[in-house]
Structure 1
Amino acid sequence: MPKIVDHDEKRREIGQVILRVMGRDGLGALTIRGIAREGGFSSGVLAHYFTNKEEMVQFAFETVAEMAFERIHAKLGDAKSGLEKLRILVEELLPRHEDDIESIVAIAFWGTSLHDAALLQQFHDRYENWRNHVREALTEAVANGEIERPVHIEDEVDLIVSATDGLLVSLTLDPKRFSKVRKARLIARIVSGLSSKVVEAAR
């Protein structure tokens, strides 16, 4: 009797191999043959799920985004304020340690997406989801009196997202510059609303 293959599980298994290779060796090492060798798959099996490098990069970024938002959603339910939700949204998208695979994959994806329309659309979709979460948390913080109402809330949303991306790059490329204490202080600075003044009661 032929073995029944769980294709979703196999795809996830291959996805973890892709993440491992990208995190260890970089985007240049991402080939059908290389991933097959790393995971102990045949090239034929791998080709059943991915036809080229771009599809593997797209799947890797999709996997990373899903992992991050699973952590975020698990923590948001316990958050007591809009500012706490903002902190979670920033903190969970930053490297958790040196050589954090998720951050390495994210940076690689940004560069690749500039030259691939499908990847660029995925970038826009994922970031719109993130902006929606930030916007909701920021709106809640304003409604609760945790921060003063920004003149342009969309500017605040984009500043928070951009500052988080910038810190992600710095923490990934120069991790020894940032102690845990300093990282926490910088996250707090981003969460404070940047151009919005945090009211004394929320400090």
Structure 2
Amino acid sequence: MPRLVDHEERRVAIIETTWNIIATKGIENATMRDISAECGYATPGIISHYFVNKRELLVAAYELICQRTNERIDEVLKSRRGLEALLAMCLEIIPAEELTVLEAKVAVAFWQLAQTDDQLRRIGASALDRWNRQIFQCLTEAKSAGEVPSSLSVDNSCSELINVMVGLHITSMLEPSNLSASNQRHLIKRIIDNWKTKDCAASATSAT
């Protein structure tokens, strides 16, 4: 008996194949024909059952990559609070692992298109807004727990961290040999450590 087609599974597989092509060949070279061939389909017609055209596929690809990142962030935040939660969240965003490097390559490609595409810009802006609110929550918790000084500007700190992480996406693509995964993690940790109160910083130093 032939296996029933799981249409959602196939749809996701098409999107994931699109990510890989974008990451290796660039978004302009991610043609429906190439995507179809990479998926093992004889013609691009099969893809048209799931996506009307390349634009619809690209929008879905950007939405899903943001969704996947957000799901991982939500998972690590479940059992953490304050600065521990903040660090865990940042490590799910910066391109310091095989998965996040792929996501960064795809995201940077979409950021270029988003300059002239309002729908793609809204998708990216929504993700950044969500991350900003989550960083704000983590720092608010850290303030309540005395991990950071009461004088710390949460708004300014959120802005600093978001912009550093976005910058890491770009610089890691341009100079991968000069920005290792270890360097990225160290940079993020150093930023967060610099916000700590003296008591918390001294405790963390003595524990290492």
**Shorter-normalised TM range:** 0.7 to 0.9
Cα shift at 1:26: 1.0
Equivalent residue number for residue 10 of structure 1 = 10
Q: Percent identity over the alignment?
A: 29
For residues 108-158 of structure 1, the C-alpha deviation after alignment (integer angstroms, 9 at most, x for no partner) is 111111111111111122211111111110111111111113564222212
Instruction: Compute the TM-score of the two structures, normalised by the length of structure 2.
Output: 0.85
In structure 2, C-alpha distance between the alignment counterparts of 1:150 and 1:110, rounded to whole Å: 34
Q: Higher relative CO (CA 8 A, sep ≥ 6), structure 1 or 2? A: 1
In structure 2, C-alpha distance between the alignment counterparts of 1:50 and 1:94, rounded to whole Å: 30
One-letter identity of the residue aligned with 2:34: G
| Gap runs ≥5 in structure 1 | none
In structure 1, C-alpha distance between the alignment counterparts of 2:37 and 2:27, rounded to whole Å: 16
In the superposition, relative to structure 1, how do residues 179 and 4 fare at CA in structure 2: closer, same or farther (>3 Å)? closer
Equivalent residue number for residue 155 of structure 1 = 156
| Gap runs ≥5 in structure 2 | 202-208
Equivalent residue number for residue 185 of structure 2 = 184
In structure 1, C-alpha distance between the alignment counterparts of 2:73 and 2:30, rounded to whole Å: 28
In structure 2, C-alpha distance between the alignment counterparts of 1:47 and 1:130, rounded to whole Å: 33
Matching of residue 124 in structure 1 with residue 141 in structure 2: no
Cα shift at 1:192: 3.8
In the superposition, relative to structure 1, how do residues 181 and 121 fare at CA in structure 2: closer, same or farther (>3 Å)? closer
In structure 2, C-alpha distance between the alignment counterparts of 1:104 and 1:170, rounded to whole Å: 11
Secondary structure, aligned partner of 2:141: helix
Q: Is the 8 A contact 1:27 1:108 kept in 2?
A: yes
One-letter identity of the residue aligned with 1:131: N
In the superposition, relative to structure 1, how do residues 56 and 32 fare at CA in structure 2: closer, same or farther (>3 Å)? same
For residues 95-119 of structure 1, the C-alpha deviation after alignment (integer angstroms, 9 at most, x for no partner) is 1346921110110111111111111
Instruction: Compute the TM-score of the two structures, normalised by the length of structure 1.
Output: 0.87
**Which stretch shows the higher mean deviation, 54-63 or 148-157?**
148-157
**Which stretch shows the higher mean deviation, 147-156 or 21-30?**
147-156
Q: Is the 8 A contact 2:95 2:181 kept in 1?
A: no
Paired residue total: 199
Q: Is the 8 A contact 1:150 1:156 kept in 2?
A: no
In the superposition, relative to structure 1, how do residues 188 and 2 fare at CA in structure 2: closer, same or farther (>3 Å)? closer
Q: Is the 8 A contact 1:64 1:102 kept in 2?
A: yes
Q: Is the 8 A contact 1:98 1:175 kept in 2?
A: no
For residues 12-39 of structure 1, the C-alpha deviation after alignment (integer angstroms, 9 at most, x for no partner) is 1111110111111111111211211111
Equivalent residue number for residue 51 of structure 1 = 52
In the superposition, relative to structure 1, how do residues 186 and 9 fare at CA in structure 2: closer, same or farther (>3 Å)? same
The structure with the greater share of residues assigned to helix is 2
Equivalent residue number for residue 199 of structure 2 = 201
Equivalent residue number for residue 101 of structure 1 = 102
Q: Is the 8 A contact 2:96 2:184 kept in 1?
A: no
